[in-house]
Amino acid sequence: MSEKILSVIIPSYNSKPYLDKCLASLIVPDRMDQMDIIVVNDGSTDGSEAICQDYIKRYPDSVSLINKENGGHGSAINAGSEAARGKYMKVLDADDWFNTESIPEFLDIISGASADVVLTCHHTINISTGEIKNWRCFPDEPGREYTMEEIMGNWKNFDRSLTFHGITYRTEFYREHGVKLAENVFYEDHEYATYPCCVAHTILPLGLFIYEYRIGDVSQSVSAENQLKRIDHTKMVIVKMLKNRVDITDQWALEYCDKKIHLLLLSFMVTSMLCDPDRKKGVARVDHRIRNIKKKKRHLVEMTMSHYKILKLLNAAHVGLEGYNRMLNSKLYNKLRHNKSFD
């Protein structure tokens, strides 16, 4: 039996319409002996586990199913990471898929790698508009390992791959650090992409497009309606990330952690101030959160204040999330963004 090179953990909750496409994208017939595909059925009630059973029959040594009570996305990742047999592990949401053509090359590279973290590129596919966007990293020397100091010194070349969709962890490294994600809460993917990277010694950026991220569905947790409904979940993840921050001592890791907390706080601000129909309530919610953080981490609040002022103006002008996104997607904004160290 060949060594398992890559464990793909698929958290699945009522994912029947998407799961077959997700699993099919992982099938590379002559490389299945190196693949460890783990579907974690998180208390589904739609019979989606039957789809998984069909793949288990065809690839019994490569596909497995974990049935558990519903505990949320983080709980499913925790269960999958404990069961992973691969040298490296990557999470794939059940409504997304992999770029099948890139899998063989990815397996070849990571089979000989030793980095704690591997970064890959991904696409976002808007199912409503058909728009496809590239999210990639731009290392000066592709194929070599970087330290966090080097990453932070050239942040704009790496930030779009240092995400849930771009990160692959060395399994032993992930387990050694006892990573346990928040359970029964949404948006813990920010936590997943933060703390392990803070303790990583080496990071290997690749130019491969692996992950295909489906967006544009109002039922998704990232839709504006759901983000507002679950705004308290975002707050809880911010609180946990701030708590984990106290265990980090390396200067560059702290800087990375602060950037990730800043981005999540910015997401909280955008959702509250631009998505809440009660504009005053949205601003008050943000002001309360900022006051709480400012008591202990004043510098994190200072990182967000320029954004806060802009969002407050947009809030007063009754600009919504759609208008804000148009601004972010403008050529002028993106030109300015890449000329600055951090926005």
Per residue in 76-105, pLDDT (tens digit) is 999 999 999 999 999 999 999 999 999 999
Domain boundary among 215, 247, 271: 215
Q: Which domain holds residue 324?
A: 224-338
Q: How many CA atoms lie within 13 A of 105 on its CB side?
A: 11
For the chain, the average pLDDT equals 90
Residues 228 and 200 in one domain: no
Per residue in 238-293, pLDDT (tens digit) is 989 998 888 898 999 999 999 999 999 999 999 999 999 999 999 999 999 999 99
Place of tokens 């496409």: 21
Quick check: is 23 in a domain?
Answer: yes
Instruction: Please check whether residue 265 is in contact with residue 238, taking contact to mean a CB–CB distance below 8 angstroms.
Output: yes
Residues 100 and 205 in one domain: yes
Residues 191 and 246 in one domain: no
Residues 236 and 148 in one domain: no
Residues 189 and 267 in one domain: no
Domain boundary among 161, 188, 215: 215
Both structure tokens of 292:
């709480």
Residue 19, Cβ neighbours under 10 Å: how many? 24
Quick check: is 73 in a domain?
Answer: yes
Quick check: is 179 in a domain?
Answer: yes
Quick check: is 273 in a domain?
Answer: yes
DSSP code per residue over 183-222: SS-S-THHHHTTHHHHT-S-EEEEEEEEEEEEE--TTSTT
Residues 309 and 180 in one domain: no
Residues 92 and 182 in one domain: yes
The total number of residues shown for the chain amounts to 343
Place of tokens 């770029």: 99
Run of H or E including 119: strand 117-126
Alpha-carbon distance of 166 to 118, in angstroms, equals: 8
pLDDT band of residue 223 (cuts 50, 70, 90) is low
Residues 72 and 195 in one domain: yes
Residues 190 and 113 in one domain: yes
SS3 of 291, please? helix
Place of tokens 């992973």: 84
pTM of the full structure: 0.90
Quick check: is 343 in a domain?
Answer: no
Both structure tokens of 59:
């690839």
Quick check: is 1 in a domain?
Answer: no
Quick check: is 81 in a domain?
Answer: yes
Average pLDDT over residues 170-182: 95
Residues 285 and 199 in one domain: no
Residues 250 and 178 in one domain: no
Residues 35 and 149 in one domain: yes
Dmax over CA atoms of the chain, in Å, equals 63
Higher pLDDT, 1 or 182: 182
Domain boundary among 156, 180, 215: 215
Average pLDDT over residues 177-181: 92
Query: In the chain, how many domains are there?
Result: 2
Distances (CA, A) of 139 to 22, 151, 191, 236, 244: 29, 9, 24, 33, 28
Alpha-carbon distance of 320 to 333, in angstroms, equals: 18
Alpha-carbon distance of 32 to 301, in angstroms, equals: 48
Range in 53-62, 84-93, 225-234 with the lowest mean pLDDT: 225-234
CATH number for the domain that contains residue 73: 3.90.550.10
